[in-house]
Amino acid sequence: MTPELTEAIKISLLVLLIVAAVAASVMKKLVPALIVFTSFSLIMALVWILLESPDLAITEAAVGAGVSGVLFYMALRRMGQMKKSFIEKDGADGSEKGENDENDRPDENGEDGEHDEDQR
Amino acid sequence: MKIRDNIKKWLAYDYDLDSAPVMPDPVEPDVEAPDISFWRSLRRRGAHRALYYVAAVICSIILASTLILTVSGMPRYGEDAEFMDTVTYEYLAHGMEYTGAVNIVSGIILEYRAFDTLGESFVLFCAVTCVLVLLRIDDGKDDVSLPCHDLTGDVILSRTMRALIPFIFIFGIYVLLNGHLSPGGGFSGGAVLGAGIILLSSAYGEQTSGKFVTERTFRIVTTSALLFYCIGKSYTFYTGANGLHSFIGNGTPGNILSAGLILPLNVAVGLVVACTMYGIYRMFKERRF
Amino acid sequence: MGNLIYNYEEAVALILFSIGFVTLLFHRNMIRKLIGMNIMDSGIYLFLASMGYIYDRRAPIVEGGDTNPVNYINPVPASLVLTGIVVSVSVTAVMLSLAVRLYERYHTLNLDEIYAMSRRRSEHR
């Protein structure tokens, strides 16, 4: 493998890494975001090989792509969010304009708290 | 007795906020509450969210630009800069001679920086203990949370695992035992083994994996591995610092039985890591061992 | 911009760190925050490992008794990152179990709702 080819592969992997990180951050549904995050770890393992660190590649492939993904899924399942996260949008996504109405509930509660305090 | 009743009440509490049993009042502090009227007025107008977003955007921009400026001021990537200081030079030039390990990284983490690795192993042990404390429910109690249906008996998973499991375990054991000769070592091999046990138990149910990993074996293996690590490293530290003759030789670098204590320490660390991975998975899945 | 064009690897690492930071700031879902924290972790590891990389050199595994240091990359960042990866997954596990406990208490993953509920609860007293 020529150095130029290695360099080109490395740069494309780094671009993919950024794309995967952004996608895991902005995706609306939770479970697809987790799948993208797992693929992020897998790309990371390939980058470790190109950085001449095979120890890190083995560990990242087993831990980042395997165990931590499994833990995320288990936690989601434990909370009964698995099906919901596939179908519905992530309700806590604050960057969405349309969902700000839903997020206004703390304000009402804040007013309630104010009211209670006035009564005291 | 009263505390016990309270705990029982709290455990039987049906997670409905309005009918929640009222907790006893904490002692009111004498100091006055801080004046949060400004924040409250912001909240009432819904402006606190906008304020938060503006502050967050400013924070992010400042952070990112600072980091990029730092990168542009650093020495060039991939060139032989002044980083080859004496420590790195020493590790590379004499590491194999002193530790007997062909893999320099293994030699560093288990010989030069063995104390650090001991701390990491204890961090893993503490993590699994924390997860146990947070998620465990008693044997007599029903599972208060939502049901967690499993994949046991799934045709695709079990057939695939029947083909893959031997290779995963052989690869994990190879990586674990050859940590001083080839890439790998305790952390990598233990993670592969732990992932293999997790796959086995998710494909064939807890009865299969429970044959060789119960809570008892988990406790015994983890504590004895950590104790072995402590005792072995104490011995080599003591003899090394005082210039005494140690009966653990380095052997010929490149042989499987060489590199002093690195091979057994790799096995100990790998067992701790594998048990941690499987223990955490089991706590999330079953909430008990 | 100095060496920015040569240091693209470190730049990518720190961009990943920034992405994780932004995720931590702008999402109120606990699982999202955990994903952001993991991305930050990966950025830091990539930064450390790319500091130790040198062109045309091999991984630090001695072959044929060749112990000349100019043939190998720097082994210290690799040994630091190796333990860090395994510790980060255990930290993730602890935080996920905390999230599970919070979900069982409040039946939501949104931190704002959890905050509002706990405040309402403390004002009910």
* Position B223 pLDDT exceeds 80: yes
Q: Which of residues 44-73 of C touch A (CB under 8 A)?
A: 45-46, 49-50, 53, 55-59, 73
Claim to verify: residue B63 and residue B204 sit in the same structural domain: no
- Nearest residue in A to C49, CA atom: A51
Interface list for C 70-99 with A (CB within 8 A): 73, 78, 81-82, 85-86, 89, 92-93, 96-97, 99
| Judgement on whether residues B51 and B149 belong to the same structural domain of the protein | no
Structure tokens at B215: 């809570």
Pair of tokens at residue B115: 């104390």
Domain residues for B230? Answer: 103-240+252-286
Average pLDDT over residues B254-265: 76
CA distance B113 to chain C (A): 9
pLDDT of residue B170: 92
Residues B41 and B125 in one domain: no
Q: Please tell me whether residues B54 and B116 are part of one structural domain.
A: no
Q: What is the pLDDT of residue C8?
A: 83
Quick check: is B86 in a domain? Answer: no
Same domain, B50 and B172: no
Domain-embedded: residue B20: no
Instruction: Find all residues with CB under 8 Å of A97, minimum gap 6, and list them.
Output: none
The answer, yes or no, to whether residue B20 has pLDDT greater than 70, is no
ipTM of the complex: 0.84
Q: Are B131 and B282 in contact (CB under 8 A)?
A: no
User: What does the pLDDT average to over A5-15?
Assistant: 88
Are B129 and B263 contained in the same domain? Answer: yes
Joined together, the tokens standing for residue B95 give 């590491």
Identify the top-confidence range among A75-89, B25-39, B147-161, B219-233.
Answer: B219-233
Q: Cα A35 to the chain's mean position, in Å?
A: 8
- Across the interface, do C8 and A14 touch by the CB < 8 Å criterion? yes
In a domain, B122, yes or no: yes
CA nearest C20: which of B131, A40, B48, B72? A40
Q: What is the pLDDT of residue B144?
A: 54
At A48-84, the pLDDT tens digits run 888 888 888 888 888 888 888 888 888 887 776 666 6
Q: Do B146 and A80 lie within an 8 Å CB cutoff?
A: yes
pLDDT band at A116 (very low <50, low <70, confident <90, very high): very low
With respect to residue B273, please indicate whether it lies within any of the assigned structural domains. Answer: yes
From the list B68, B77, B123, the residue facing C9 with the nearest CB is B77
User: pTM of this prediction?
Assistant: 0.80
Q: For chain C, where are the alpha helices, taking DSSP H only?
A: 8-26, 30-51, 75-106, 111-123
Rounded Cα–Cα distance for residues C45 and C39 (Å)? 10
Q: Which chains touch C (3 or more CB pairs under 8 A)?
A: A, B
Mutate to test the interface with A, among B60, B108, B187 (most CBs of A within 10 A): B187
Test B135 with C18 for CB contact under 8 angstroms: no
- Min Cα distance B252 → chain A (Å) is 22
Mean pLDDT, to the nearest integer, of C88-106?
87
Please determine, for residue B138, whether its predicted confidence score (pLDDT) is greater than 70.
Answer: no
Which residues in chain B are closer than 8 Å to C94, comparing Cβ atoms? 127, 130-131, 134
Report the number of distinct structural domains present in chain B. 2
Q: Do C116 and A105 touch (CB under 8 A)?
A: yes
> Which positions in chain A touch C16 (Cβ < 8 Å)?
17-18, 21
Residues B55 and B181 in one domain: no
Quick one: B137 and B258 in the same domain?
A: yes
CA distance B6 to B113: 48
- The reply to whether B207 falls in a domain is yes
Query: Which chain C residue has its CA at the smallest distance from A36's CA?
Result: C35
What's the rounded mean pLDDT across residues B87-108?
80
Q: Quick check: is B2 in a domain?
A: no
Query: Which band of pLDDT confidence, cut at 50, 70 and 90, is reported for residue A104?
Result: very low
pLDDT at residue number C120 = 75
Q: Has domain C8-123 been given CATH number 1.10.287.3510?
A: yes
B179 and B256 together in one domain: yes
Band of pLDDT at residue A118, cut at 50, 70 and 90: very low
A11 in contact with B at a CB cutoff of 8 Å? no
What is the predicted pLDDT for the residue at C74?
83
Q: What is the mean pLDDT of chain A?
A: 72
> Residue B25 — very low, low, confident or very high, per pLDDT cuts 50/70/90?
low
- CA gap B262, B114 in Å, rounded: 10
Q: Which residue has the higher pLDDT, B33 or B118?
A: B118
75-114 in A: which are within 8 Å (CB) of B?
Answer: 75, 77-80, 100, 103-104, 106-107, 110-111, 114
Q: Say what percent of chain C tops pLDDT 90.
A: 12
Any CB–CB contact under 8 A between A51 and chain B?
no
Same structural domain, B124 and B261: yes
Q: Is residue A5 over pLDDT 80?
A: yes
In percent, how much of chain B has pLDDT > 90?
A: 1
Going from N- to C-terminal start, the domains of chain C cover: 8-123
Give the residue with greater pLDDT, A8 vs B139.
A8
| Whether residue B122 has pLDDT greater than 80 | yes
Give the distance from residue C124's alpha carbon to the nearest chain A alpha carbon, in angstroms. Answer: 9
Residues 6+ apart with CB under 8 A from B134: C94, C97, C98, C100, C101
Give the best residue of A4, A7, A49, A63 to mutate against chain B (max B CB count within 10 A): A63
The pLDDT value recorded for residue A109 is: 40
Residue B220 lies inside a defined structural domain of this protein:
yes
Residue to mutate among A4, A50, A56, A74, with most B CBs inside 10 A, is A74
Cβ count within 10 A of residue B31: 6
Tell me: do B150 and B267 sit in the same domain.
yes
Are residues B178 and B52 located together in one domain of the fold?
no
* Residue at which a domain ends, from B20, B45, B68: B68
Query: Can you say whether residue B78 is alpha, beta or left, with left for phi > 0 and alpha for psi between -120 and 50 degrees?
Result: left
**If you search the block for the tokens 């119960």, which residue do you land on?**
B214
Confidence of residue C45 (pLDDT cuts 50, 70, 90): very high
Contact A114 B148 (CB under 8 A): no
Question: Where does residue C96 rank: exposed (0-12), middle (13-18), buried (19+ CB within 10 A)?
Answer: buried
Residues B247, B259: Cα–Cα separation, whole Å: 13
Mean per-residue pLDDT of chain B: 76
Least confident of B54-58, B131-135, B214-218, B278-282: B214-218
Please count the CA atoms within 13 angstroms of the CA of C58 that sit on its side-chain side: 14
